[in-house]
Structure 1
Amino acid sequence: MSRMSGVLAAVVVGLSLVTAAPATAESTHPFPSELPLPNGFRPEGIAIGHAPVAYLGSLADGDLIRVDLRTGKGEVFSQGPGTPSVGLKIDRRGRLFVAGGNGGDARVVDARNGAILKSYKFSGTGAFVNDVVVTDDAAYFTDSSRALLYKIPFGRHGELPDTATEVPLTGDFVLKPGFNANGIAATPDRKALLVVQSNTGQLHRVVDGVSKIVDLGGEVLTSGDGVLVRGRTLYVVRNSLNTVVVFTLDKSGASGKLVTKITDPRFDVPTTVAAFGERLYLPNARFGTPPTPTTEYKVVAVPNR
């Protein structure tokens, strides 16, 4: 599929999807359990807001695709910059915040029409901007190669600034060889951030850059990738292990208790996770499969346990 095919049609479709009424838990059952993506797309991040629409980015060229959870049909609605789109999140204003991977950048995209609202180029060499969380007052991006977060503070009415701020990671967080800070989410009380460190398997609670390791009762999260917090439930995707680990957190996010581990034979190196209704949605990045223009990719839906 051409990267620009169906853009105008996607805009019209997207407007109707964004304004669709939220589905009830019961109405999610007929939704397809697999969402096909274009061959060669190479998904990594996924975001779902209040409407039954999933947004995904391509590691191949940064294209963004919008998929209707009710039908499984989707279209590319925003052309990428030729560098990766990795983690992404959508806010209540319909803005997609997109991490740029080894492009060392990020951008904010209008989820309705694909227009780029702001672009940010982060300083330093060797950056890998991996994932993002949107809080009430800012967006925070992780860097898997450097011991810091990138903060985009919002103005009074959510205005986007012209530049981002670097927040050094200190305390218990120690940079190690390999992939470091990866998935990021807010704690249940929204007073801190949770960051998984892939190479050490540690989950960090971060306040103003100061990190403290979360007590998970001895559970180790090596290969931890995307994270999701819903209420006091934490989901951590361990990509190469094809597993989602589920915890119950205390309100502050300082400790967690293992609830279950979700596996599925359809998992093929899932990287990130988003939720809608009673389901979790995970894109299969298929990192063990050589990427080609004909390699098949999909999103897998599993029960939200």
Structure 2
Amino acid sequence: MRRTVQRRTAVGFTALLALFLPIALPAVASASSSDDVIVLDGATSAEGIAAGEGATFYAGDLNTGDIYRGDIHDSEAKRFINVPDGRMAVGMKADVDNDLLFVAGGATGKAYVYSTETRKTVAEFTLTTKAMQFINDVTLTEDGAWFTNSASPELYFVPVGDCGELGDSDDVETLKVSGRAAKPLKEGEFGFNGIASAEDGDTLIVAHTAQQALYAVDPETGKSDRIDGPDLEFIDGILVKGHTVWAVQNMVNQISRLELSRDLSSFKVEDVIKSKHFNIPTTVAKFGDTLAAVNAKFGKQATQYDVVLVPAWD
């Protein structure tokens, strides 16, 4: 039964992704072993990564939804949470203080929250029931978790209490985004992708893949303003620390480090981070001066999925 569910989920995502990719890609072998590569042992796919406590990271198997846990000093990450059938794992963030892992559920239209202490499912939220949906990424603020939908100009907010208390799907709030970011998508385009909070949660920074852009979104009103700067081709996951943004550009195998202006109205590219081990990286986590990026290998025939370590600064 699990194999059937996985195949149906994978086919649905692959069909959506095929519309997004401009060309078919040839098959390639898996990445070779290296001190800079951490293998997700047994993973059938990959997409999201989150920093945990210390050197710990969590990564997800996109197709099955299973969660892997590893250490950036080790060569392998092991399956940590074997989730129920029919789930997916896309972007994710760890709430270290409350031992919680928030995971975007992709084509399921859901979000999942797991305990990193007991490995149990703490909550499952239905964010949307629209026919076309892809819950892509998540960011945490002091008040809760925000999720993106790559098929619709909406953000979803799940409130979280001071001690990690969670409600149910009735507590989910939908924020309709306005402005240029809400421009209708063409068939097969990915809209909102990565998301991060800035200014202590007063502003949300959202990556828009089809528009190759970053937007500042007001979490109260949904008003969006494009952040002026060069086009960011194939922008995917983003990480924001202060006024620095690391923008993962999946199909061009690079991470651009950007510097935001004080008022978040513009950015400039400080440097571009590359690695011979990048194989369509999608999301990134930061550990001091080290970035950990997960290789998704979309459109390729891979037998191994992995995390690549690179310097955060040029």
TM-score by length of 2: 0.82
Query: Aligned match of 1:259 in 270, 286, 289?
Result: 270
Deviates more, 1:252-261 or 1:111-120: 252-261
Q: Any idea what SS the aligned residue of 2:251 has?
A: helix
Structure 1 residue 304 corresponds to structure 2 residue 312: yes
Letter in 2 for 1:214: I
Mapping 1:89-238, distance limit 5 Å: 89-91=93-95, 92-122=97-127, 123-163=129-169, 164-173=172-181, 174-177=183-186, 178-207=189-218, 208=220, 209-216=222-229, 219-238=230-249
- Structure 1 residues 202 and 136: CA distance shift in structure 2, 3 A: same
Q: Which residue does the alignment assign to 1:9?
A: none
Q: What is the CA-CA distance between 1:50 and the residue it aligns to? A: 3.5
Aligned mates of 2:162, 2:275 — CA distance in 1 = 44
Q: What is the CA-CA distance between 1:45 and the residue it aligns to? A: 0.4
Q: What is the CA-CA distance between 1:132 and the residue it aligns to? A: 0.3
Letter in 1 for 2:133: A
Q: What is the CA-CA distance between 1:187 and the residue it aligns to? A: 1.6
Residues 51-103 of structure 1 show CA distances to partners (whole Å, capped at 9, x for unaligned) of 11110111121000101222233321211233320000011322100000001
CA contact (8 A) 1:191 1:252 kept: no
Q: Which residue does the alignment assign to 1:12?
A: none
Equivalent residue pairs, number:
271
Q: Which residue does the alignment assign to 2:31?
A: none
Q: Which residue does the alignment assign to 1:60?
A: 63
Q: Which residue does the alignment assign to 2:89?
A: 85
- Structure 1 residues 188 and 67: CA distance shift in structure 2, 3 A: same
Q: Which residue does the alignment assign to 2:300?
A: 289
Q: Which runs of 5+ in 1 are unaligned?
A: 4-30
Residues 153-197 of structure 1 show CA distances to partners (whole Å, capped at 9, x for unaligned) of 123544212121111111221231210000000124532000011
Q: Any idea what SS the aligned residue of 2:98 has?
A: coil
CA contact (8 A) 2:214 2:227 kept: yes
CA contact (8 A) 2:254 2:273 kept: yes
Q: Any idea what SS the aligned residue of 2:118 has?
A: coil
Letter in 2 for 1:212: D
Structure 1 residue 72 corresponds to structure 2 residue 63: no
Q: What is the CA-CA distance between 1:39 and the residue it aligns to? A: 4.0
Residues 253-292 of structure 1 show CA distances to partners (whole Å, capped at 9, x for unaligned) of 332121011111111000001110211011111113135x
CA RMSD of aligned residues (A): 1.8
Letter in 1 for 2:270: V
Letter in 2 for 1:88: M
Residues 235-256 of structure 1 show CA distances to partners (whole Å, capped at 9, x for unaligned) of 1001001011111113443321
Which protein is richer in helix relative to its size? 2
TM-score by length of 1: 0.84
Aligned mates of 2:281, 2:273 — CA distance in 1 = 12
Aligned mates of 2:71, 2:174 — CA distance in 1 = 36
Letter in 2 for 1:281: A
Aligned mates of 1:258, 1:188 — CA distance in 2 = 20
Q: Which runs of 5+ in 2 are unaligned?
A: 4-33
Q: Any idea what SS the aligned residue of 1:170 has?
A: coil
CA contact (8 A) 1:197 1:222 kept: no
